[in-house]
Amino acid sequence: MEVSTELTDEEDLDLVKPLEGVLDAVSTGNLLLIKGEFATRAVVECARCGGPIEVDLTFEIDEQFTVVGVPSSLSHQDFARVEADEPYPLFEGNSLMVESLLRQNLLLNFPVQPLCTFGWEGDCPIAKARGVAGQQGGAGRLEFEQLKGLVNEE
């Protein structure tokens, strides 16, 4: 199934392009297998200067959900249902909330420390205006350099 969404209900996500991809679901009887590939472009903040950066994000989905109960084709008194074991609800009854699954996987694939074109060592004008210095060659983090002075070397 082809999916395209802008995740408009999510205030913390700033997507430049809609999240698009293909999602496939297969039931084996006791497992629901969900696979897919998705891509989008989003605006994130530079880890050094806090300036906006546009990044391309791509990710794959490969999920397995346990199915409990007897399939309705084998019994008219009961039906199989997905066992809810996620802390963030992904199913409403037996229906997959596709946008919730996509949001969860998108957030897991955001870059940890996105950097603008100046990186950690370049002369970034935004970082300079905010008083954030770049890393000096060979020097460690400032906090650790200050702690190093507390150690007695004997």
- In sequence order, what are the residues at sequence separation of 6 or more whose Cβ sits closer than 8 angstroms to the Cβ of residue 52? 43, 44, 45, 46
Q: Where are the domains positioned within the chain?
A: 2-121
The model's pLDDT over 33-52, given as tens digits with 9 standing for 90+, comes to: 999 999 999 999 999 888 99
Chain centre distance of CA 30: 28
pLDDT tens by residue, 106-130: 999 999 999 998 888 888 888 888 8
42: closest CA among 54, 58, 59, 60? 54
